[in-house]
Chains A and B, each alone.
Chain A
């Protein structure tokens, strides 16, 4: 087996172990809640018989491991049960709301990489000088406030006081876009409606930036630390001796090895953003998973909570596999260490 394929198989099987664990954890959390799920579902006016019938259909009278078995069987068939809040299958609810959230998180992730990494590179290049200190304080400030605070501040500044960006929503109502992928930025392009595409980009900018701010700070700080470490390596000294330009050294020779440790953290930051998206969506009235998630949590809608957490965790595990493979791709030592012994 080629090394890279071996690595993929290995990472996916580890991810499977983790996913099984996640399903057990979620199942456990869902089962330790005080109160009878059947009683909660039917409300206080249901008779004892009705509750008993529902308990039987939900397999609540079986031993706990049998219940877990049913739970896993349903999940593997893509059946997450019916939401008590919307009265629809949870999978349909999630499929409706997830793309908006993912779109927000992905745009924020791109911002984090495209702004955070260059800032870190500049900081490292001018280490100890004014611009480095300034960037360090700015990135630390970015990390130091929850994304909802940034969302509120950005909204006040750039949507109310300087009305540059829209206050809420994903796109103006005048545009009717056929949903193909659920990602508006892609759907508008498929439609060939450039105006709508710019309108959607306009709407996503502020929320995505609010969401990305702490990630940008984190990425800049890490890249700075790693670049400084790399700059002290003998091979960089040699490049300087050969007269290679500073820009080329920074962008080509020092950047790649410094990127590897940052990437792991970027993967973890992505996870944090999936959670923080809830906060930003609440401020910007973004029609994503957040409103649904908070609503079902407040209503103790068991199936929907379990489904939401499961889908978010699955997304996160997938992202981490991708990050791991990217690291392996960037780092020849990992790439070739996977040879069969």
Chain B
């Protein structure tokens, strides 16, 4: 473990990724202390100061009702991180369980479960989430639900493929010969050997969940005002291009920074896994 952290820190790209992630998490946690106008996270108006280009007081400018954009972006990190955590906490266990079950059981159960997974994978993720979101009310909770509904199949497919290859390994056959139960083999023998892959995918996915959620709110199907959200900020600002460019560029770059950070670290983790095997 110690060695692995050392490898991770030896690569400048992954160090940069770790820095970006800590920056985002740190600023989200301490948002109340580091933002210049903490009150601007809510429904405040300051019309004397609206639509200002970036300047010394408002380093990223102000929005159409005069709120500090920098403050709102930092608070939007909170929502994004929370959504990422909740979606993955719910969808990963479901996906992993289905994948283990289908891969280890084989036969009819395998066929049925994997076809169900195929069905979910045959609807473009954003479209499925949009449909769920549109039919329910567009709230934060439903947004999480919608994204969760489309996220688990990716884990099912990943774990299914891993399980199918691990199943033939000596240690699994040995456990079966001693008479270990099905659940024991699935959860105590095969699952621990998949954790690397799961953690790597979760790191990469954290960024992608944030990306999808921001896309939903860009279309007006996600987090609702006055809660600050990166996607809806871009959507709102896009109408005032090119003059008020800061309204779209800074929230857009904020999304890029989070997702880029997680991708850098996820990539490094994956490379490390490859050298393991």
Contacts and interface: CB of A to CB of B under 8 A. Distances in A.
Contact of B122 (A145, A279, A317): A317
Contacts of B218: 146, 148, 279, 282
Contacts, number: 151
B116 interface: yes
Contacts of A152: 234, 238, 241, 248-249, 252
Interface string B239-260: 0011001001100110110011
Interface in A149-183: 149, 152-153, 155-156, 160-161
B130 A21 contact: no
Given A279-B219, A298-B134, A25 B123 contact: yes
B243 to A, nearest CB: 9
Interface stretch (B22-30, B52-60, B207-215): B207-215
B115 A18 contact: yes
A297 B214 CA distance: 17
B241 A156 contact: yes
B260 A144 contact: yes
B122 A313 contact: yes
Contacts of A160: 241-242
Nearest to B132: A29
A184 B230 CA distance: 34
Interface in A262-282: 268, 271-272, 274-276, 278-279, 282
Given A141-B260, A309-B128, A22 B123 contact: yes
Interface of A: 17-19, 21-22, 24-26, 29-30, 32-34, 137, 140-141, 143-146, 148-149, 152-153, 155-156, 160-161, 268, 271-272, 274-276, 278-279, 282-283, 293-294, 296-298, 300, 302, 305, 308-309, 312-313, 316-317, 320
15 contacts: A18-B115, A18-B122, A21-B116, A29-B135, A148-B231, A148-B235, A156-B245, A275-B130, A276-B215, A279-B126, A300-B134, A300-B135, A309-B127, A316-B123, A320-B122
Interface of B: 13, 115-116, 118-128, 130-136, 207, 211-212, 214-215, 218-221, 231, 234-235, 238, 241-242, 245, 248-249, 252-253, 255-256, 259-260, 263-264, 267
